[in-house]
Amino acid sequence: MTILAKKTLSPLISAKQLTCIREERLLFETLSVDIFAGDIVQIEGANGSGKTSLLRILSGLSQPYEGKVYFQQTNIEDCREQFQQNLLYLGHLAGIKGEMSAEENFSFNTALHGNQNCHHEDYLSCVNLCGFEDSLASHLSAGQHRRIALARLYQSQAAVWILDEPFTAIDKEGVASLEALFVGHAKRGGCVIMTTHQDLMTINSSTIKKVTLDYDYGSMRI
Amino acid sequence: MKNLPYQCNNKELAVEKNNRLPPDTTKLDRIVIIDEQPSYSQAFKLVLTRDLVIALRHKDDFLNPLLFFIIIVTLFPLGVGPDVSILSRIAPGIIWVAALLATLLSLDRLFKSDHLDGSLEQLLLSPQPLFILVLAKITAHWLITGLPLIIIAPLLAVLLHLDERSYSALFLTLLLGTPVLSLLGSIGVALTVGIKKGGVLLSLLVLPLYIPVLIFSTGAIDNAALGLPYSGQLAIIAALFFGSLTLAPFAVAAALKVSTN
């Protein structure tokens, strides 16, 4: 185990010269970004500008057209298992099964990522799901659905959090406590990479790194 | 209190419930880079039980192929007529073709629902090796669709006047053959999971791969009816089973990565 120094010089994740093409449309090219432990990175851009594509490339779900992603200076293709142990990715689909209860969903998702036997009730209460542990997820609202997935953040030991629109369908109070959670995670030496259209309320904007995708893709068809 | 990290916003509720406080995550250690060897058997069991639980709650999953199988087989005596000699001659073919189509019908559910609700992404990103998770999903699929067919097939064979010497051959070919159907089919599903309407493509991809199983299984049952040895055909089906058992999970894992790209 390598303990991360307070501000390590080498980036936790770095993307080098990424180019992404979707449906014969160039979304971004030669995009390079270094993300260090303690960073909160917000990816901005209009709808369709490639925010989700970038997150999927950073998490290793999609392959970039060109370029590479490095985790602790190793290509993520070469250290996939180690990278995925230290990664928590929540896509815009929550990954929650309607046929299973909130508790079963949470336990499955945490166990799948290597954490057996944690006290699911405590973590579900963190996201205001006290009393809903045994309800089937399909009977819950969209926000509660999302909260089941977000409960994993309170339990996660992963260093890298990649979150696609984490605040969708979450109420104001929930957003505030999530923001506090992100700050705490960054302070502990993790990093948060997310997309959101909302302005972050409680986090000091100077501490957020912003990556803006504003490539003029309309005129750059290939 | 407001700016503490990891603060839970419903302390009152949590206290009400058995005086349990949310975990005090403020005192958590610094993040360390985890590097542990995950347990394969635990991952396998985890996914297998999840899929079985979902299938038991979503009863369509296993009732639909089973009913389809029963309906096809029972319609044949009505269509062909109750002539014993004709029915017992075509019985192995009917049972196997029905089993094949019933499996094909159920294949779509294998990865589609996981793909639609995003849990496939979570499976792909879990630190466990993907082929273990895939193998667990295929095992669950066989337990849900293949096993009920094996149990009900002897009853339907009675309906078709199958020669009594063929029953053990029918049972053995189904036991070895239906897992092959699940394993080979899963490759097709994995390749088409990203396509919105992949149903037709799936049939075209998978059915040709099913033909060897069909030929050797019905051949074995026919041989048994004539009192001839059928261990040769059985050995070939067993070879198909072990070949696909060892290779299909890797093919599926690779196909899933491509089709979710």
Please give the CATH superfamily to which domain A11-86+177-222 belongs: P-loop containing nucleotide triphosphate hydrolases (3.40.50.300)
Here the tokens at position A121 are: 């009730």
Here the tokens at position A148 are: 């089941």
Instruction: Point out the residue among B4, B28, B35 whose CB comes nearest to the CB of A85.
Output: B35
Q: Which residues of A touch B261 (CB under 8 A)?
A: 61-63
**Residue B111, in any domain of the structure:** yes
The percent of residues above 70 in pLDDT, for chain B, comes to: 87
**Residue B172, in any domain of the structure:** yes
Mean pLDDT of A168-181: 87
Mean pLDDT of A185-208: 83
pLDDT at A220: 40
pLDDT over 50 at B260, yes or no: yes
Pick the range with the lowest mean pLDDT from A110-119, A192-201, B110-119, B213-222: A110-119
pLDDT at A21: 87
pLDDT at B221: 95
pLDDT at A221: 38
Mean pLDDT of B138-156: 94
Which of A73, A105, A125 is the best substitution to test chain B (most B C-beta atoms within 10 A)? A125
The Cα B131–Cα B38 span in angstroms is: 13
B137 lies in which domain range?
39-259
Give phi and psi for A219, each to the nearest 5: -95, 0
**Residue B14, in any domain of the structure:** no
Could you tell me if B114 and B120 are in contact, meaning their C-beta atoms sit under 8 angstroms apart?
A: yes
pLDDT at B29: 66
DSSP state of B1: -
Q: Looking at the complex, report in whole angstroms how far the Cα of residue B70 sits from the nearest Cα belonging to chain A.
A: 27
Question: Averaging pLDDT over each range in A57-71, A208-222, B227-241, which range is the top one?
Answer: B227-241
pLDDT over 70 at B9, yes or no: no
The structure's pTM equals 0.87
CB contact under 8 A, B17 and A125: yes
Q: Which residues of B touch A64 (CB under 8 A)?
A: none
Residue of A nearest to B133 (CA): A112
Encoded amino acid at A96, one letter:
I
pLDDT over 70 at B28, yes or no: no
pLDDT over 80 at B11, yes or no: no
Query: What is the tens place of the pLDDT at every residue in A152-164?
Result: 888 888 889 999 9
The residue written with tokens 């990103």 in the block is: B125
**Residue B92, in any domain of the structure:** yes
Mean pLDDT of A52-69: 90
Question: Averaging pLDDT over each range in A207-221, B4-18, B191-205, which range is the top one?
Answer: B191-205
Residue of B nearest to A159 (CA): B31
pLDDT at B12: 44
ipTM of predicted complex: 0.86
DSSP state of B25: G
Mean pLDDT of B101-108: 92
Chain B touched by A10 (CB under 8 Å) = no
Could you tell me if B257 and B133 are in contact, meaning their C-beta atoms sit under 8 angstroms apart?
A: no
Do the strands A160-164 and A191-195 form a parallel or antiparallel pair, or are they unpaired?
Answer: parallel
pLDDT over 60 at B26, yes or no: no
pLDDT at B13: 42
Number of other residues whose CB lies within 10 A of the CB of residue A138: 14
pLDDT at B38: 67
- When divided into structural domains, chain B yields a total of 1
Mean pLDDT of B172-185: 96
Distance set, CA A13 to CA A33, A60, A76, A193 (Å): 8, 12, 9, 10
pLDDT over 70 at A11, yes or no: yes
**Residue B12, in any domain of the structure:** no
Interface of A with B in 99-158 (CB under 8 A): 99-100, 104, 108-109, 111-114, 116, 119, 121-123, 125-126, 128, 130-131, 136, 154, 157-158
Residue of B nearest to A83 (CA): B127
Q: Looking at the complex, report in whole angstroms how far the Cα of residue A181 sits from the nearest Cα belonging to chain B.
A: 5
Which of B13, B33, B112, B124 is the best substitution to test chain A (most A C-beta atoms within 10 A)? B33
**Residue B10, in any domain of the structure:** no
Q: Which residues of A touch B119 (CB under 8 A)?
A: 95-97
Could you tell me if B149 and B189 are in contact, meaning their C-beta atoms sit under 8 angstroms apart?
A: no
**Residue B7, in any domain of the structure:** no
Residue of A nearest to B10 (CA): A128
Domain ranges of chain A: 11-86+177-222, 93-157
CB contact under 8 A, A4 and B54: no
Interface of A with B in 174-213 (CB under 8 A): 174, 176-177, 180-181, 183-185, 187-190, 202
Encoded amino acid at B109, one letter:
R
pLDDT at B20: 43
CB contact under 8 A, A173 and B57: no
Written as one string, the DSSP assignment of chain A is -EEPPTT-SS-SEEEEEEEEEETTEEEEEEEEEEE-TT-EEEEEE-TTSSHHHHHHHHHTSS--SEEEEEETTEETTTTHHHHHHTEEEE-SS----TTSBHHHHHHHHHHHTT--S--HHHHHHHTT-TT-TTSBGGGS-HHHHHHHHHHHHHH---SEEEEESTTTT--HHHHHHHHHHHHHHHHTT-EEEEE-SSPPSSS-GGGEEEEEE---TTS-B-
**Residue B161, in any domain of the structure:** yes
